[in-house]
Chains A and B, each alone.
Chain A
């Protein structure tokens, strides 16, 4: 296939492009920027979607939260057993957790309670349970928390300030490392009872109930039974979270639409100029070529090379720009627009997750269109009689 490329013809095409330098450079830049813009939005959204799915993967199928006057309140142990008795529920775990404001450092810690012998949906908790046997008064902290505590002169223990103003001294047993993704920052893991003491929960209270259902088809049904049995409860389904995210970030959302429309119009501005066809100097040149023995197909092939040279290189350049912008510079302004809507992914690591489909789609929408716009207007001129040249 490489042999079929006529390098001399390509050289001629390149020279033709260079003869109209400023215009072609302008086209190249605009084309690349367009591709870069679109590709960046695609990369960002694909990456965030992947990250979100990864995050949600560890969520329980159903979360039951008790409410009074539609305000969240804790649950008691016997609820756990009542839920467990429902057919189809495979596991039920009472979760104890909360957020602690460490005003000194102006940060917020997330305290996750664990029971040494429970099986959690969150693999981090299971991993820690396996590795450690925590004392009643000890905790494990994430590396970010350890840093904050050290900066505030807490190295071996920390004093939590309780509801009534008294202190709860907790030993720091060890530090664990979490990949720097969304909700994992500033995590502290400690026994359930300790969390209860710090926040003032009663001895058998849970923040909420995490429920796993084996057969996916039954989830909706069980959610219904739960609502009947616990009329006050707020029921959160994992599937609903996923659907909610998709609705915000599928391609019909306002943001994407705006970007597409802008890109569309800009693209057609570029093409419009090409569509008007060769100018008189170019027409003359085509006449000369025909006179010295170039067939129509040779002329069109040269135009093809011209089109490919600009559009393909601009496309590749645009993709590279997008990759650098999103994955190396972490997409500064674009990220802010996306995240505005979704606080779940506050400061997250951008997974390198390329959606090949959109990259290919972008290619087929831009490059062939441009090439066609280059070739087709020249076709008519190329078929004119070359004797014009003689006059």
Chain B
């Protein structure tokens, strides 16, 4: 390959290289929120779908033609936010698990509002909903009532955001105990589950499908 072509390739690849350096964690925790703020404040009318590629959007921002004067950091944040979040059809955010003062765990009867970080629920059609004070109790219920479930919700340990239980990863036998003792700790991705299992001396992360009745019974 000639030198110029190599140079051009590098130039083309550099934005990717650059954005590949930024971890998903940094994007989610800092850049997307910042981008959203910039978007709302400085150019709420900017239509991201007018741009054919991320680089094009980024360039437009950097040369101040799309959203006023923005420095490098802000341009990137805004570009990432627009491209990764705004452009994609907003997936219905999962309904947050709501707990009232009277809600009790379906299996053990404990009042749930004392343990908001640990609650989880199983939804059935026609508004039939059961809530639990931990995944251990929920799984006990689950294995006997598998039919007709619409969605199972749990809270990601690190961010406490509601996630789909069936897409989550679980760590058992860690040093973190739930309200009912040893628990299945849920994570929204394998990476954070692995980090947790190493930090808190738990077993390797398991997918939802890998959870068995025997595990639930023998966890204590």
Contact = CB atoms under 8 A, between A and B. Distances in A.
Interface of A: 80-81, 84-92, 116-119, 133, 214-218, 221, 225
Name the prevailing secondary structure of the B interface residues: helix
Interface stretch (B31-39, B51-59, B90-98, B208-216): B31-39
Given A133-B41, A214-B160, A221 B30 contact: no
A92 B158 CA distance: 15
Contacts of A221: 199-200
Nearest to B195: A87
A94 to B, nearest CB: 10
Nearest to B176: A217
B77 A215 contact: no
A117 B41 contact: yes
B159 A214 contact: yes
Contacts of B159: 90, 214-215
18 contacts: A81-B26, A84-B30, A85-B26, A88-B157, A88-B158, A90-B29, A90-B159, A91-B29, A92-B29, A92-B30, A117-B34, A117-B38, A118-B34, A119-B33, A119-B34, A215-B159, A216-B117, A218-B158
Interface string B6-24: 0000000000000000010
Contacts of A91: 29-30, 33
A84 B70 CA distance: 23
Nearest to A225: B199
B196 interface: yes
A218 B185 CA distance: 13
B88 interface: no
Nearest to B37: A117
B169 to A, nearest CB: 12
Contacts of B207: none
A80 B37 CA distance: 19
Contact of B160 (A85, A87, A117, A215): A215
Contacts of A86: 25
Contacts of A119: 33-34, 37
